[in-house]
């Protein structure tokens, strides 16, 4: 605070702005009057956020000292909201090294404070018995606390908010399984917290006194078991009573697969979360309230947090989603805009269709593809491909859409990722399903020489090894049915919306 009682305006660096918490924190910091700089590996993913024009976006990676050093210049408060969860067996080493680099560069740049959102750890449990996920979160906090820069480590358990991985797991398990045989960890006590309280503590931590260098447990007012959480979710959502039968034979590993099959959360994320749920995570103090006082009605209770999350989902107002962050190992390079001879083979399936509808109507159909609207061709084939992807550890089709009508760069769209949008003209999707290669799907809304609309579609596949080539040739006989049907039905749908009963010829 300044001497006159006003809040100090900080220059804040936010890492993880493409993720669930980071994407929600940025507008909260702006609303509090702070200046914000975002460090992102792929700045283009932030391009379509409504707040992008109000922040500075720089390219970089927390594992790269040079880019972190440049991003830290002139920064007062640095938010560390990244982790390597789901990237493989070496994620603990990656997290440790990245946190060390971040702390070193913050100290060298004269940063006044680091704020880190970690995981709540159980009392009295040695690090060797923690899940790798919780152990790594705790270690990152220790590294930052020892960096020489005053650090606030906020430790939260399950975060309840529309779009969070924890909320999605809870929602899908409860809604899809009226009778459940569940792991024994459903009886473990947890202290969940509403996402709005997490954001309030994160913003408020920028004003902590300089001498504060410690961890803070943050949680809501309710201590519940996961079983209670599912039953209370059913009550708040107006669902019939759920029959839940805990059994001891489902190990954390099997639990991860079980969650991955029932929910849209991939196994790479579901497994470490399931492993963490075997530990009781309850706050041991609420000291954060001394520095960030709780306003009336806060912390938000569990049932209220559920109601708020469900309201946001029903109104399609999910600002960020757990799937906003890229799936580890998803394809990135080369780009389909590279020349045909670059990077080896590039298989292409092209379709075109004249459309008796204005380009803007055609574009609305294109932008609305996926999720509940489907893919306009052979639903059984798309569903089968999604199930196969889930069985082999991929994301499947169940991620859906963040928004029912609008897309932005970086959004997940079933088992695709929005890689590029030229509003009114181009939508490019990059595949994140398990494939022996890299794949894209491009859809164009154009105007032909006769003044009519033309829909142009291009599917591209960059094979990896012999298996990739075999994959393409094994599925190519079905392209006329899948991709050809998609082009025809998109044209037909656009024509129908424009009030034309007959689609134009091919």
Q: What is the pLDDT of residues 150-167, one digit of tens each?
A: 999 999 988 998 777 778
Q: Are 217 and 198 in contact (CB under 8 A)?
A: no
pLDDT at 332 over 50: no
Distances (CA, A) of 345 to 348, 458, 464, 468: 10, 16, 9, 10
Return the minimum-mean-pLDDT range out of 138-152, 157-171, 403-417: 157-171
Class of domain 347-497: alpha beta
Chain centre to alpha carbon of residue 62: 18
Calpha distance 119→272 (Å, rounded): 12
Q: How high is the mean pLDDT of the chain?
A: 83
Over its C-alpha atoms, the chain yields an Rg (Å, rounded) of 24
pLDDT for residue 3: 40
Nearest to 492 by CA among 484, 196, 224, 47: 484
Tens digit of each residue's pLDDT (9 = 90 or more) over 456-478: 999 999 887 678 888 899 999 98
Taking residues 291-303, report their average pLDDT.
Answer: 91
pLDDT band at 333 (very low <50, low <70, confident <90, very high): very low
Return the minimum-mean-pLDDT range out of 33-42, 93-102, 160-169, 217-226: 160-169
By percentage, how much of the chain surpasses pLDDT 90? 43
pLDDT for residue 452: 78
pLDDT for residue 326: 47
- Most confident option among 364-368, 391-395, 401-405, 464-468: 364-368
* DSSP H helices in 3-64: 20-31
Taking residues 204-215, report their average pLDDT.
Answer: 96
In sequence order, the 6+-apart residues with CB closer than 8 A to the CB of 495 are: 355, 356, 357, 501, 502, 503, 504
Calpha distance 295→289 (Å, rounded): 10
Nearest to 1 by CA among 9, 78, 74: 9
Domain ranges of the chain: 11-323, 347-497
pLDDT at 254 over 50: yes
Taking residues 369-377, report their average pLDDT.
Answer: 88
Calpha distance 474→467 (Å, rounded): 10
Distances (CA, A) of 268 to 79, 99, 253, 259, 392: 25, 22, 11, 11, 11
pLDDT at 322 over 50: no
Taking residues 118-141, report their average pLDDT.
Answer: 84
pLDDT band at 447 (very low <50, low <70, confident <90, very high): confident
Q: Which residues pair with 350 in a beta bridge?
A: 458
* DSSP H helices in 356-409: 359-367, 379-391
pLDDT for residue 467: 85
pLDDT at 89 over 90: no
Q: Are 146 and 103 in contact (CB under 8 A)?
A: yes
Nearest to 299 by CA among 190, 218, 215: 218
Tens digit of each residue's pLDDT (9 = 90 or more) over 479-505: 988 999 999 999 999 999 988 544 444
Q: Are 41 and 68 in contact (CB under 8 A)?
A: no
- The enclosing H or E element of 38 equals strand 35-40
pLDDT band at 331 (very low <50, low <70, confident <90, very high): very low
Calpha distance 227→189 (Å, rounded): 9
| Same fold for the pair 11-323 and 347-497 | no
- The enclosing H or E element of 167 equals helix 165-176
**What is the CA angle 295-301-304, rounded to 5?**
105
pLDDT for residue 79: 98
pLDDT at 400 over 70: yes
pLDDT band at 66 (very low <50, low <70, confident <90, very high): very high
Higher pLDDT: 394 or 354? It is: 354
* First-residue to last-residue Cα distance in the chain: 67
Higher pLDDT: 64 or 169? It is: 64
Higher pLDDT: 333 or 387? It is: 387
Instruction: Classify domain 11-323 at the CATH superfamily level.
Output: NAD(P)-binding Rossmann-like Domain (3.40.50.720)
* DSSP state string for 132-162: HHHHHHHHHHHHHHTSSS-EEEEEES-EEST
Return the minimum-mean-pLDDT range out of 64-78, 114-128, 199-213, 236-250: 236-250
- Most confident option among 74-78, 292-296, 319-323: 74-78
Taking residues 74-103, report their average pLDDT.
Answer: 85
Q: Give the global pTM.
A: 0.69
* DSSP state string for 263-331: SSS-HHHHHHHHHHTTS-B--S--THHHHSPPPTT-SPPHHHHHHHHHHHHHTT--S--GGGSPPTT--
pLDDT band at 286 (very low <50, low <70, confident <90, very high): very high
């Amino acid at each position: 605070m300044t001497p006159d009682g006003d809040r100090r305006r900080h220059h804040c660096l936010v890492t993880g702005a493409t993720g669930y918490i980071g994407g929600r924190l940025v507008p909260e910091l702006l609303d509090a009057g702070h200046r914000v700089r975002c460090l992102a590996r792929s700045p283009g993913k932030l391009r379509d956020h409504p707040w992008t024009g109000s922040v500075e976006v720089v390219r970089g990676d927390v594992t790269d000292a040079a880019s972190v050093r440049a991003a830290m210049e002139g920064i007062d408060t640095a938010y560390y909201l990244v982790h390597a969860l789901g990237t493989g067996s070496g994620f603990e080493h990656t997290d440790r090294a990245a946190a060390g680099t971040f702390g070193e560069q913050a100290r060298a740049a004269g940063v006044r404070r680091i704020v880190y959102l970690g995981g709540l750890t159980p009392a009295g449990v040695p690090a060797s018995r923690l899940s790798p996920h919780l152990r790594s979160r705790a270690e990152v906090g220790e590294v930052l606390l020892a960096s020489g820069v005053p650090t606030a480590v906020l430790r939260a358990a399950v975060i309840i908010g529309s779009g969070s991985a924890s909320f999605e797991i809870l929602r899908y398990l409860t809604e899809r399984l009226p009778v459940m045989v569940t792991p024994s960890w459903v009886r473990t006590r947890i202290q969940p917290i509403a996402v709005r309280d997490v954001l309030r503590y994160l913003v408020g931590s920028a004003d902590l006194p300089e001498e504060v260098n410690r961890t803070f447990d943050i949680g809501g007012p309710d201590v519940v078991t996961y079983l209670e959480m599912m039953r209370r979710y059913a009550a708040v959502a107006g669902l019939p009573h759920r029959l839940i039968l805990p059994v001891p034979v489902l190990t954390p590993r099997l639990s991860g697969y079980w969650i991955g099959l029932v929910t849209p959360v991939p196994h790479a994320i579901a497994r470490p979360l399931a492993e963490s749920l075997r530990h009781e995570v309850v706050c041991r103090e609420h000291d954060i309230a001394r520095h960030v006082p709780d306003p009336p009605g806060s912390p938000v209770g569990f049932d209220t947090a559920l109601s708020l999350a469900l309201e946001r989902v029903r109104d399609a107002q999910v600002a960020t989603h757990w799937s906003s962050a890229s799936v580890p190992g998803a394809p990135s390079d080369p780009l389909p805009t590279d020349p045909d001879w670059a990077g080896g083979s590039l298989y292409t399936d092209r379709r075109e269709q004249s459309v008796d509808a204005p380009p803007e109507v055609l574009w609305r159909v294109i932008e609305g593809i996926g999720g509940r609207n489907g893919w306009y061709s052979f639903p059984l084939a798309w569903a089968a491909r999604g199930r196969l992807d889930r069985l082999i550890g991929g994301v499947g089709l169940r991620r859906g859409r963040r928004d029912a009508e609008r897309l932005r760069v970086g959004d997940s769209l079933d088992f695709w990722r929005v890689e590029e949008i030229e509003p009114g003209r181009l939508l490019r999707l990059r595949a994140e399903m398990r494939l022996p290669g890299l794949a894209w799907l491009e859809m164009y809304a154009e105007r032909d020489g006769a003044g009519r609309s033309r829909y142009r579609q291009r599917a591209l596949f960059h094979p990896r090894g012999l298996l990739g080539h075999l994959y393409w040739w094994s599925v190519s006989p079905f392209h006329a049915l899948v991709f050809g049907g998609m082009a025809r039905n998109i044209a037909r749908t656009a024509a129908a919306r424009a009030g034309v009963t007959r689609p134009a010829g091919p």
